[in-house]
Amino acid sequence: MAIRNILRDSDGRLRKKSRPVERFDERLLELLGDMADTMHKADGVGLAAPQVGILRRAVVIDIGEGVIEMVNPEIVWKSGELVDDAEGCLSSPGEYGMVKRPQKVKAVYRDRGGVRRELEGEGLLARAICHELDHLDGVLFKDLASEMLDPEELG
């Protein structure tokens, strides 16, 4: 697999809505593998295809329990809230903001083979799912932040 360049938040492509994945083929498998490698190399917990310049609805997430690949994901249920917690993004290195997210979510998506799956996430996983799916609609965490934090205050 290859490490891809991560777009910075000033790149206009990150503001575009991604198109659904229609073909579950070798190109998709390569993209998902490259995204996972890129995310791990950058010490992230999630990466969306638009962040590597591909405007397709695909994300990878790894909160320390193994890579989750989500193709054409959609959140179908939300519950509770994580009250303003610090959030960052690989497209905005060194920047953090306070973002309110659901405590729990349920998402439906396709796996790399096109099989429909469901995933319930809580806490960090719920936050990562919401954050990455926002990227698919051209939304950055800074758009949702109630305040941006001084990196020196984070220690």
From first to last of its 155 residues, the chain has per-residue pLDDT tens of 799 999 999 999 999 999 999 999 999 999 999 999 999 999 999 999 999 999 999 999 999 999 999 999 999 999 999 876 789 999 999 999 999 999 999 999 999 999 999 999 999 999 999 999 999 999 999 999 999 998 766 65
pLDDT recorded at residue 153: 66
Q: What is the CA radius of gyration of the chain?
A: 15
pLDDT recorded at residue 85: 79
Among residues 30, 95, 132, 147, which one is catalytic?
132
Q: Which of 58, 45, 48 is nearest to 6 (CA)?
A: 48
**Which residues have CB under 8 Å from 131's CB, separation 6+?**
46, 87, 89, 99, 101, 141
Q: 12-154 belongs to which CATH class?
A: alpha beta
Our measurement of the distance from residue 33's CA atom to the centroid of its chain's CA atoms, rounded to an integer in Å, reads 15
Residue 81 annotated in active site: no
pLDDT recorded at residue 150: 81
Q: Which residues are known binding-site members for Fe cation?
A: 89, 131, 135
The residues spanned by each domain of the chain are 12-154
Which strand (E) or helix (H) includes residue 133? helix 124-136
pLDDT recorded at residue 151: 73
pLDDT recorded at residue 147: 92
